[in-house]
Amino acid sequence: MHGKLNMKSFASLAGGFFLLIALSLIHLIQGQADYTVSELVSGVWVEGRIQDIVMSLRLPRLVIGLVAGGALAVSGAVLQTLTNNPLASPGTLGINAGAFFFVVISVIFFPSFLGQFPFITALLGAVLSSLLVVGLSGKQMDPVRVALTGMIISLLFSSMTGAMQLLFENQTSGLFLWGSGTLVQLNWEGVKFAAPVIAIFFVAALVLSKSMDVLSLGEDIASSLGQNVRLVKLMAWGVAIVLAAATVSVVGPIGFIGLMAPHIVRMMGIRGHFQIFAHSFLWGSVMLIGADVLGRLIQPGQEVPVGAMTALIGGPWLLYLAWKTAKSMKRGDRQMGGTTKPVRLKVLLPLLIGMIAVVITLALSFNGSEWSFEWMKPVVWNFRVPRVLTSFIVGIMLAITGVILQGVLRNPLADSSVLGVTSMAGAGAMLLLVVFPAIPSAFLPLGATLGAVLALGIILVTAWKNNFQPMLVALMGIAISAFGSAATQVFVVKAKLAVASALVWLSGSTYGKGWEDVQFALILFVLFIGPAIYITRSLDTLTFGDDVAAGLGLSIRSTRVWALIIGVAISTAAVSIVGTIGFIGLVAPHIARRLVGFRHLPLMLASGLLGGLLLVTADFVGRILIAPKDIPSGLIVALIGTPYLLYLLRKMK
Amino acid sequence: MKQRIVLLIAILMLVLAGCSSASEEPATTETAAEPVTITGTNGEVKLDAPAKKVVVLEWTYAEDLLAVGVQPAGMADIVDYGNYVNIEPQLDETVVDVGGRQEPNLEAIAAIEPDLIIGVSFRHDAMLEDLEKIAPTVIFNPYPEDESIDLYQEMETTFKEIAKAVDKTAEADKVLADLETKYEEKAAEIEAANLKTKDVILTLAYTGAQAPEIRVFTPNSMASIILERIGLNNVHQPDQYEIFGSSTFNVEGLVKYENANYLYTVPDEDNIYENQLKGNKVWENLAFVKEGRTYDLGADTWLYGGPLSAETLMNQITDVMVNK
């Protein structure tokens, strides 16, 4: 047994090193200055141009790639053990998004600070977002919960980043490449900063490996063996976060390496955390350098962000992994919560309608600089009125989606963005834009629908056999979502300038909605409201748990399929009108559940109204805050929704 | 506070309204204007009369109007325009800000009651219907996919169309004719200056992450064609057709052009030459750096503009290369 392991270990190490050396040599040859191999080999030893280029541009790039790939892989390996979650990685836990947001903010508001302390800026963002995820996930580190929290934090940061890029187009245009991760280095500064940090924390990971072996036996056994579980976990989290953050701060958010490398190592039969960490480092380096080599082969002389390359390879892998992992997961039923002393609808409804009336009146009357109550005036009638109405209807639709999806998955953090439907819809639309750059944006919803249907298809196919276990569906959703946003990122880089209008649409905008949009939204709403109401009865039954529900004569599987189809259809309809607005489907049902309890019909009614209220408010605030400029409603929704969501996560311990 | 501002604005509006109604009187006595037809990427746009009140949603087209002596009635992203574009005549302070270029405020545009709206295809195609509801709208595309049209020709064509829309065709012809004279003058200056080399590359740089990115303009770009017109020689030959008229390089890519002169603009607050590239061996050992042949054209020399920006570019080039 031991000998066998050593053989595997040796094979992995030898193979890894051989690949690494080969790839590194190719990597050093690639570059915008055309030198032949023999010129490079002879020129590098003497002082001069070739030596300068190799020593101050190409070598730092290679070294940072080696170090960053290794760090990401080890960080991923640590996180996966810690959260007992095969899908954990710096990318899926929101660390990348947080760091990037901080960099964007400082580029805009404190450019000189970024110039002086680029690493610290990104490090702050990475640490903040990981602290948020860790803090909000609760002590148990429940896998799905950690992953979902990571998703939400990512969603929050990336929506804010998107909005910043919209508002400050000229200042941030150079950040697109870095936003997808790049190894471009200009000197040894990046290496000087990252290498020591990574070295120290890599050693720390190795030191911790024994304790992590014990920890992976389970916390009870670990503590009965005399381990201070909390301390070990805390230290391991620290190691993982710093490794990821140091990397992000130098090379930008690079996904999937932290996810794939540890798995490949495990698949090769390497066991024990010391071995896993060491091998992960090696294979992480191999993968990142390989991706960079590949990127420059595809477009010689141009920069294809290496993060995009890793996403291209890693996306499908992630899907496969999610499917494989989730199959072995045991069913987790979770309580949806909700008040047991509902506010009576007779009281609540007039209150809600009153609030909606007030907000809509405000929204119709103020344009950011002046009041006008002449709603029939052409300027108001043609632009403001339909915009407010569209927001209201779409808000209702988004909230209803949330109610249905949360009900069917029995997952209080489910909504179309968590399921990956939203991000795939975005990716689909962007793909359309890349393939047909001249396409009118009226056709973007077509791409969005294709993307959403694909996402749903994947969920249906993979979850069918497992009877739609909530865990499996949620995990698949996270995988699809990560893939969708990675694909979107690749397309954004590929589409270059044409991207500005797509970014608006992606970040969710109620901008420029006219009467056709009102009509369209209304038709879709009328079309879907019937089935949505019809499904509430079955959803009520489902809340008792699968076994009870089946005992009551409910066909669980067909209920799940239909509820998923209806939920996704409504959310796609909403996306096709206003783009990818998240959070409403998540937040509105929660507030409603605390008001009216968990019966689905009143729940749907109340959250629909709340959703409408939220989006109208968001649209209004976005219109007036920096008038005559416009802030996309998606951002405002995120800003309104997140504090509530964070509060909610704290509360659900 | 806010109320006071609102009040102030209201008073201003009243005053303005008073002024404008007074000044409109003689305008009506003019002879009936002829209808005009202009052509953009969205086809032919017919106006019953030349436009008086024009809303421009992209900087270059505001510049085109200014070149023929017309102030736009409304314009997008006025503040940033001031940071990046340096031309005479300047934008009037009365020009109304209609929001961002990407999502201009439709209500603000409608409130101006313009005769014509001018947009750019890569931003405004999506909202064409909304804009057309407000006023006739013409869209231009400064980056045609057709390789046979260079970006300078596109600029001239668009400029003439815009001039036609405001009935200033004669003025536009004069501006272009003056520009031709100017090219000859500047070419003579360059010729007389006896430069060590007339080979140049023209770049625009900014920070992408820690690594600076350098846009090197290709021969089909407008800025490059202006260079050629005054007798300079752009040595950058891109490997592939660049629709936006520039390739993106890092320092390494500059090596093959080190014998040329290095013309550049860089934002003041993001000067990569003073920040990241300072002390970089590759950069400092490039021939044009060593021999002092790098020429700063200033942060507000807009390389994507119209005829006035073309003139600014020419003046800046001869200022820094000849008169330094």
Q: Give pLDDT, residue A176.
A: 53
**Which residues 115-154 in chain B show a CB within 8 A of chain A?**
122-123, 125-127, 129-130, 133, 143, 145
Chain B: closest CA distance from residue A149 (Å): 27
Chain B: closest CA distance from residue A498 (Å): 6
Query: Do A174 and B103 lie within an 8 Å CB cutoff?
Result: no
Query: Do B280 and A170 lie within an 8 Å CB cutoff?
Result: no
Residue of A501, A516, A519, A520 best to disrupt the B interface, most CBs of B under 10 A: A501
pLDDT at A494 over 80: no
Q: What percent of chain A has pLDDT over 90?
A: 22
Beta pairing, strands B96-97 & B74-75: parallel
pLDDT digit string (tens) for B184-209?
999 999 998 888 889 999 999 877 64
Cα separation, A135 vs A550, whole angstroms: 38
Report whether the peptide linkage leading into residue B89 is cis, meaning its omega lies within 30 degrees of zero. yes
**How many Cβ pairs within 8 Å bridge chains A and B?**
162
* Residues in B touching A367 (Cβ below 8 Å): 107
> B192 is written with which tokens?
């007389």
pLDDT digit string (tens) for B272-298?
888 778 888 889 889 999 998 999 998
Cα separation, A75 vs A77, whole angstroms: 5
* b/e A330-364 (16+ beta carbons within 10 angstroms → b): eeeebebebeeebbeeeebbeebeeebeebbeebb
Q: How confident is the model at residue A170 (pLDDT cuts 50, 70, 90)?
A: low
When the pLDDT of each residue in chain A is averaged and rounded to a whole number, the result is: 81
Judge whether A209 and A518 are in contact, CB under 8 Å: no
Residue A441 burial (CB < 10 Å; 0-12/13-18/19+)?
Answer: middle
Cα dihedral A56, A288, A35, A41, rounded to 10, equals: 80
Query: Do A379 and B207 lie within an 8 Å CB cutoff?
Result: no
pLDDT at A633 over 60: yes
Query: Do A440 and B9 lie within an 8 Å CB cutoff?
Result: no
> A433 is written with which tokens?
């834009």
Judge whether A66 and A60 are in contact, CB under 8 Å: no
Mean pLDDT along residues A323-344: 64
Q: Which of A108-117, A223-232, A608-617, B42-51 has the lowest mean pLDDT?
A: A108-117
pLDDT digit string (tens) for A192-246?
888 999 999 999 999 999 999 988 888 888 888 888 888 998 899 889 888 988 8
Q: Give pLDDT, residue A222.
A: 86
The complex's ipTM works out to 0.76
Judge whether A426 and A443 are in contact, CB under 8 Å: no
Q: How confident is the model at residue A178 (pLDDT cuts 50, 70, 90)?
A: low
Judge whether A606 and A113 are in contact, CB under 8 Å: no
Mean pLDDT along residues A499-504: 62
Cα separation, A607 vs A542, whole angstroms: 19
Q: Give pLDDT, residue A1.
A: 43
The residue behind tokens 């939203």 is A422
When the pLDDT of each residue in chain B is averaged and rounded to a whole number, the result is: 84
Q: Give pLDDT, residue B16.
A: 45
Of all residues in chain B, the one with the smallest CA distance to A61 is B211
A526: number of Cβ within 10 Å: 10
Q: Give pLDDT, residue B15.
A: 46
